[in-house]
A and B are shown apart, each in its own frame.
Chain A
Amino acid sequence: MMGSQISITKFQLLMVLIQTQIGIGLLSLPNVVQESARGDGWISILFAGVVIQFLLIIYLKLLKKFPNDMLTDITKKLLGKHLGTIVNTTIYFYFIFTGSTLTILMIKILNEQLLPLTPGWVVSFLIIASCVYLTVSNLRVIARFFVLATFWILVLICITVLSIWLPKEIQFILPVGSAGGKNILLGSNNALLAMLGFEALLFLFPFVIGNTKGMLKTVSYANLFVTSFYTFITFLCLVTFSPEQLHQIREPVLFLFRGLTYRMVDRLDLIFLSIWIIPMTTSIIMYLFLASKCLAGKKKSYKNAVIINGIILFCLSFIPNTDKITDTLTQYVSFLSYTIVIFLPCLLLLLSRLVKKRRSGGFV
């Protein structure tokens, strides 16, 4: 009730994770995985889902040792104050960079598809202003909004089902596994980027009510949903478009809808994209939230941090969104993400075990 500590339920956590993961990445996902994995792109995504599942288990093992701390507190506890601060700064930059990359990509796609003549800064200002408006409140309100936004994803799934009636060619994905293990792995690597967002768990864990039990189930459901949704869409694209077409189409998911025509509406892709603005924005909101939590820590300056980060995001969105720059940005983000999302939690888990052992050995 009033004044009690801000907390969210497990159901809300599930929705928050789903909303953070699903975003702009989906639109180009089939194109990205197809680059290396060819017709076996859908296997790549399944595999990426399995990897994420393992990561989530590692996260939970780590977090259960510190049920009241966010990642930034854990690093300080395990690595000491100075090293911890350096690592936390890296984490902060990771969130800011991911957030701004998402913003830049979103502006780019909106400029290409919906508003070819509107200057990018107007779009980015509106997006970031609305993100800041929600993020300044608190996690509970964010979670409420994300739960509502998930209904939209259900609407989108319904629209997606319509595209089943497009002509399909199952030959495109046969024979299964023909791309070879290495290429499928490379495909997973690319898919992982589109599925980022599960690392929010590292910060949300202490806010969840009853976070001692049943967390694995919750996060697994989130992962299951995202992985199957992505696999489903990618599979649809892979059987609808030929490999040559897929190679040329940057956002195959939108083209999936462009083929549909009805008596009352045409160009479903525009409507799809307009609705998709919401899941895209929710990802940015979450990264803005994470960056601000990083910056503010447990102090009360959270609101100011949100506004500062909003301004930083806005400034970063002025980076011209040519293909070359966005590709470099994506590379940086992926490099950073491997450090923060995979390497750091594993290291922390190992350290926490060592510390525990040494303590029990030394003091008893």
Chain B
Amino acid sequence: MEEQLTQELQNNFRKILKYFSYTEDLATKEMIFDNKNCTILFLDSMVNKEQLQTFVIAPILEAETGEIDKVVEATEVQAVSSISEIGSKLMEGCCVILIEGREVAWTVSVAETTSRSIETPANERSIKSAHDGFVESIGTNLLLIRRRVKTPQLKVQSYTLGRQSNTKVNLVYLANLANSEMVEEIKRRVSSIDVDQLLSSGEIEEFIEDNPYSPFPQMLHTERPDRAVSYLTEGKVLLLVDGDPRVLIMPITFFAFYQASDDYNSRWMVGTFFRCIRFLSYIISICLPAIYIAIVSYHSEVLPIGILYSVRVSLENVPFHPFIEAFTMQIVLELLKEASIRLPTPIAQTIGIVGGVVIGTAVVEASFVSNTMVVIIGLTAISSFVAPVNEMGTSARLLGFPVMVAAAVLGFFGIAIVLMVIVMHLCKLETFGMPYFSPLAPLKEKDLKDTLIRMPAWKMVTRPSDSLPAYKKQQWRTRGWKKS
């Protein structure tokens, strides 16, 4: 049974105080209104004092009598009667006006909004695209999205998740475009979450993703509104979590991780070229060390005598198996990355230099690692950082390890088998019922225009069909001037 307000002011006040565990930042302001005692309650830390003064306290003192919702000049005035409702309003930053002899209270929204200003996202930089990024406030993020898609079809569904944290979570999609069956499924999964605290979008991703044991990320995090909106208009669903600048996009395909906003603002040939480079980088970061290991330890006859000679010479004084070499070098690289990633820039630079010198030259001179291996690992590392979304690059580096092991144990056969299993896994993966490796598996020729290549914008008459949008056509007249 929910506790309701009574007619006694002191009693109500005590109840609320108890509800808030006698916290000391619950402030009060006593006043006389309509010749009755009147108390304004608010969480000291959550309200904007100036607003409280001008929109609530001043009008009440001035009017002295009348109806509260007429007197108070704020936009959001609401009458509530249960303690728990008052509690949640207070936590949102409202103030509560209690009056002697009334069984209802009025809540007025005077929340303090401190939020980081909109900046360029640090981990998704762009050269030729918009420079704004999402922030920690869910309201601002919605604003950034709404400003880009001004349609009444943009639907926001909000949830409050977390028993303790009461985090606001918003599901955003285009009602006339997103596949309704899929949206229902996402809603079902999100509303089934029951936890104490929900602090980031990463947690919610793990709660609702289809294949938790897959090495591939199945949802796309982005801090770029332009990117989020571009997927929104493909019929995908966005998930915003209050307090997290990263927006979740679902369902996503493998190839989305290799698209960047800049592709669409470069000439299409340039865009296509970069796409190809990125896919090459993915293949290199998975296979290159493994192929090298397989060649030097099993199939050296693949190399013609000239190259074989120079490779063998560099291997001459190295006491370790190529697999050990490659493995330790990869680990050292990860160490360097982890060490420098969270340090202040000057120290990180020092580590970079020390690491570079030590790894690059000293290790080779001490003949712990061969020259060729340094080249191979360097190439692999660079190409794993090419992926526009960091998670996919990391997953590629991670997948490189089993391929390396297979190459060290079984040579080319091992590589072929492991790669085959990876591709099988990609074919099997489905997120929210949509195939992950689309448009390659299942093959959809029409969707290939925006994956491995980027066709000119006026060729993209239909939107990608991987998330089964309600209608496909997205362009009607682009270069119509040419025909007349």
Residues of A within 8 A of B (CB): 1-2, 9, 11-12, 110, 114-115, 118, 122-123, 126-127, 130, 133-134, 137, 140-141, 143-145, 147-148, 261-267, 270-271, 273-275, 277-278, 281
Contact = CB atoms under 8 A, between A and B. Distances in A.
A144 B427 contact: yes
B442 A144 contact: yes
Given A115-B413, A278-B416, 8 more contacts: A1-B468, A122-B410, A126-B414, A261-B304, A263-B304, A271-B412, A277-B413, A277-B420
A267 B441 CA distance: 32
Contact of B416 (A140, A144, A277): A277
Given A263-B304, A266-B301, A137 B413 contact: no
A147 B416 CA distance: 17
B335 interface: no
B411 A115 contact: yes
Contacts, number: 96
Contacts of B412: 114, 270-271, 273-274
B245 interface: no
A278 B441 contact: no
Interface in B433-462: 433, 435, 437, 440-443
B382 interface: no
B195 interface: no
A355 to B, nearest CB: 38
A97 to B, nearest CB: 24
A31 to B, nearest CB: 23
B424 interface: yes
A281 to B, nearest CB: 7
A68 to B, nearest CB: 23
Interface string B172-206: 00000000010001000000000000000000000
A1 B469 CA distance: 12
A270 B443 CA distance: 29
Which of B410, B414, B416, B428 has the most chain A CB within a 10 Å cutoff? B416
Contacts of A123: 410, 413
A79 B347 CA distance: 82
Contacts of B414: 126
A238 to B, nearest CB: 27
6 contacts: A115-B298, A118-B410, A123-B410, A126-B414, A133-B421, A148-B443
A115 B410 contact: yes
B423 A267 contact: no
B307 A264 contact: yes
Nearest first, the 5 closest Cβ-Cβ pairs linking A and B are A144-B441, A2-B433, A274-B412, A277-B416, A144-B427
Nearest to A277: B416
B303 interface: yes
Contact of A127 (B298, B303, B417, B440): B417
Given A12-B442, A265-B302, A270-B301, A1 B181 contact: yes
A134 B410 contact: no
Contacts of B284: none
Contact of A141 (B307, B410, B416, B428): B428
B427 A141 contact: yes
Given A130-B421, A278-B420, A2 B181 contact: yes
A123 B437 CA distance: 28
B415 A134 contact: no
A148 B423 contact: yes
Interface of B: 181, 185, 298-299, 301-307, 410-417, 420-421, 423-424, 427-428, 433, 435, 437, 440-443, 468
A141 B298 CA distance: 34
Contacts of B420: 130, 277-278, 281
Given A264-B307, A274-B416, A277-B417, A145 B410 contact: no
Contacts of B423: 145, 148
A277 B302 CA distance: 17
A102 to B, nearest CB: 16
A275 B291 CA distance: 13
A270 B433 CA distance: 40
A127 B415 CA distance: 12
A143 B440 CA distance: 12
Contacts of A130: 417, 420-421, 424
Given A2-B181, A144-B437, A266 B304 contact: yes
Contacts of A270: 299, 301-302, 412
A146 to B, nearest CB: 9
Nearest to A285: B424
A310 B441 CA distance: 25
A123 B302 CA distance: 21
Contacts of B298: 114-115
B302 A267 contact: yes
A266 B304 CA distance: 5
A243 to B, nearest CB: 28
Contacts of B441: 144-145, 147-148
Contacts of B443: 11, 144, 147-148
A263 B302 CA distance: 11
Given A130-B420, A144-B437, A266 B302 contact: yes
Nearest to B302: A267
Contacts of A114: 298-299, 411-413
B302 A271 contact: yes
A189 to B, nearest CB: 32
A267 B181 contact: no
A20 to B, nearest CB: 16
B416 A133 contact: no
Which of B304, B306, B427, B433 has the most chain A CB within a 10 Å cutoff? B427
Contacts of A281: 420
A262 B468 contact: no
Contacts of B442: 9, 12, 140, 143-144, 147
B410 to A, nearest CB: 6
Nearest to B424: A134
Nearest to A142: B427
Contacts of A147: 441-443
B303 A266 contact: yes
A274 B304 contact: no
Nearest to B412: A274
A274 B413 contact: yes
B245 to A, nearest CB: 32
A159 to B, nearest CB: 14
A134 B428 CA distance: 8
B333 to A, nearest CB: 27
B413 A110 contact: yes
A126 B420 CA distance: 11
Contacts of B411: 114-115
Contacts of B299: 114, 267, 270
Contact of A274 (B185, B303, B415): B415
B380 to A, nearest CB: 19
Nearest to B307: A264
A209 B420 CA distance: 27
A122 B428 CA distance: 25
Nearest to B414: A126
A141 to B, nearest CB: 5
A148 B435 CA distance: 14
Contacts of A277: 413, 416-417, 420
Contacts of A273: 412
Nearest to A140: B442
Contacts of B185: 2
A114 B417 CA distance: 13
